[in-house]
Every structure is written in structure tokens, then in C-alpha cells.
Amino acid sequence: MADYNTMELMICTAARELEDGASVGVGTGAPCAAAMLAQKAHSPNLVILFEAGGAAPLIPEMPISVGDSRTTWKAVMASGMCEIMETACRGMLDYTFLGGAQIDMYGNLNSTRIGPDHQKPKVRFPGSGGANDFGSFCWRMMVMTPQDPKRFAEKCSYVTTPGWLQGGDSRAKSGLPLGAGPYKILTNMAVMDFEPESKRMRIIAINPGYSEKDVQDNCGFELLKAKKIVENKPPTKHELALLREQIDPYRYVIGR
């Protein structure tokens, strides 16, 4: 039995994507934990941006809101929503982590509703918030999510945030900024990217303890497979120590 849980593995995988000097737009929870881990482990100059206005803080403990005081702790600037989203729109936001109730094979995300009637939805979720904005502007959008066949859906009942839209060059034609889009999907079972031509989701790494079959069985659409699928590296002792002792001592995120 491994001495880490899948949430810890997902956070460590995500943190490793964030190189020093890059910028990342994050929300609360696992994305924030990943950014904090990257900042403490290997990217001391990671520029962490919060949609409400917090810019480049040295986050002391897990924020409960993307606008609370922790998001400007020792920050370089306490700004506003336009400042952050304009920074993203003019091309200075490298990464973001998003999530949703549903994701399809092109990385489109639903965080708005389930059911066909928009004015009287079966289930109402929060909506876009800043997700569509980050998803539209950010060069490399990533998703951290548990993997199950309901969430990885053939078709989202509503597309809140753009992935590669209908695949191929549909996103480029839509008017969204060129060259930006979904980059990697990190789940408890695997890491996926997107095949460059079709823009369909593709397995590139499997987490320890899972098989390609597990990943496909827990996905509502057919996944492509990279020529070489590697095994994802487990968290190091150092990463786990930072995560457990400094970043999330109360296990708000890693205890889920």
C-alpha cells in the first residue's frame, strides 16, 4: 500500500507542471495547494494570480476564498478582477487549473447546470465564475478532477468553459485567442493531453496502481492513447512533507 493518497498524488503531479518564473491562475482547494507546493518545492518565483485581484502572494495558509486576505499575503499587488483578466488576455498567464461537474473529450467543461431547461434546471451549479475567462485566455489550461464515467461525459449538458470546442480548428475559428487551450488533464488514475490534430483527449501517463483499462472503464468516451504511455512518478518524501506539514496541516484538501 502506497503511503500517499490520490489527492496528494494529483497535487504533486500538478505542482511539477509549474516551472519557476511562470504564472498561474488558481482557485481554492487542490489548484491552490498545487501552486503553493510548487512555490515551496521548486518555483520560488511562481507568479500566483487570483481572479479577485490578489497578485503574486506568498500564501501563508490555504485560502477559503479566492478573494480572502490570504490571497494578498506578502503579495506584490492587491488589484482587481479586470487587472488579472486583462493580464491573462494580453498573453501573460501561462497556466490555470479548472474543474467541473462534466468534461468531454475536447476538454470542454460544465459547471453551470444539469438538465435541458436553462430557466428551471434539474441541478444548478455556480456557473462560470472566472473559469470561462481563465479557460479562454490562459495559454495552457489544466484540469484536476477525479475520474469517473459520469464526469468524463460523451457530451456536456452545458459548455460553461471552452476546451477545444468541437475539436480540430473549431476553437481557432470561434474568435477565442489563438494558441491557448486545454493542455493536460490530471486525474486520480492518469494524465491525459490532447492529440494535436483532432484535439481529442489522449492518455500519456498512468498513475501507480492503475491500468489503461481502469482509465478507459472510468471514462464516458473513447480515449486516444499516446505511442508511449509512461508511469506517473509518485510523490517524493519532500513533496509530501511540505504538503502535510506546511500547506494543508488541517487536511482540508488532502483529506478529501
Partner 1 sequence: MEVLAQGIGPIFTDPDADKARAFFRKKSRALMPKVMSVKEAVEKFVHDGEYLCTGGFGANRIPAAVCHEILRQGRKNMGFAGHTSTHDFQILCAGEVFNKLDVAYIVGLEARGLSPNARKYMESGKVNVSEWTNYSLSVRFKAAAAGVSFYPARNIMGTDTFHYSGAKVIECPFTGTKYAAMPAIWPDVAAIHVHEADIYGNCRIRGITVSDLDLARAAKHLIITCERLIQNDEIRRDPSFTSIPYWCVDAVCEVPYGSYPGNMYGEYFSDEEHIKEWLKVEENPEEFKKFLDRNIYSCKDHFEYIERNGGMHKLLKLREKEFMFSKARD
User: Of the listed pieces 12-20, 27-35, 97-105, 226-234, which binds partner 1 according to CB under 8 A?
Assistant: 27-35
Helix 6-16, helix 30-41: angle, nearest 10:
60
Q: How far apart are CA 4 and CA 219, in angstroms?
A: 24
Say if residues 107 and 164 touch (Cβ distance below 8 Å).
yes
Query: Using CB under 8 A as the criterion, what x/- string covers residues 68-87 for binding partner 1?
Result: xx-xx-----xxxxx--x--
Question: In whole angstroms, how close is the CB of 23 to partner 1 at the nearest point?
Answer: 17
Q: How far apart are CA 227 and CA 132, in angstroms?
A: 32
Q: Which of residues 164-183 bind partner 1 (CB under 8 A)?
A: 165, 170-171, 174-177
- Specify whether 51 is catalytic: yes
Query: Using CB under 8 A as the criterion, what x/- string covers residues 95-134 for binding partner 1?
Result: -------------x---x----xxxxxxxxxxxxxxxxx-
Give the closest residue to 223 by CA, choosing from 206, 246, 244: 206
Q: Which residues contact 164 (CB under 8 A, 6 or more apart)?
A: 106, 107, 108, 170, 171, 181, 182, 194, 199
Question: In whole angstroms, how close is the CB of 142 to partner 1 at the nearest point?
Answer: 18
Contact flag: residue 155 with partner 1 (CB under 8 A)? no
Contact flag: residue 51 with partner 1 (CB under 8 A)? yes
Query: Which of 8, 17, 19, 51 is flagged as catalytic?
Result: 51
Q: Which residues contact 251 (CB under 8 A, 6 or more apart)?
A: 244
Q: How far apart are CA 88 and CA 98, in angstroms?
A: 15
Question: In whole angstroms, how close is the CB of 37 to partner 1 at the nearest point?
Answer: 17
Question: In whole angstroms, how close is the CB of 104 to partner 1 at the nearest point?
Answer: 12
Contact flag: residue 160 with partner 1 (CB under 8 A)? yes
Q: How far apart are CA 29 and CA 253, in angstroms?
A: 6
Q: Which CB atom, from 53 or from 235, has the smaller least distance to partner 1?
A: 53
Q: Which residues contact 2 (CB under 8 A, 6 or more apart)?
A: 208, 209, 234
Say if residues 41 and 238 touch (Cβ distance below 8 Å).
yes
Show the cell assigned to 51: 481572479
Q: Pick from 58, 64, 230, 241 the residue near partner 1 by CB under 8 A.
A: 64
Say if residues 102 and 153 touch (Cβ distance below 8 Å).
yes
Query: Using CB under 8 A as the criterion, what x/- string covers residues 179-218 for binding partner 1?
Result: ----------------------------------------
Binding site for partner 1 (CB under 8 A): 27-29, 51-54, 60-61, 63-69, 71-72, 78-82, 85, 89, 108, 112, 117-133, 136-137, 158-162, 165, 170-171, 174-177, 252
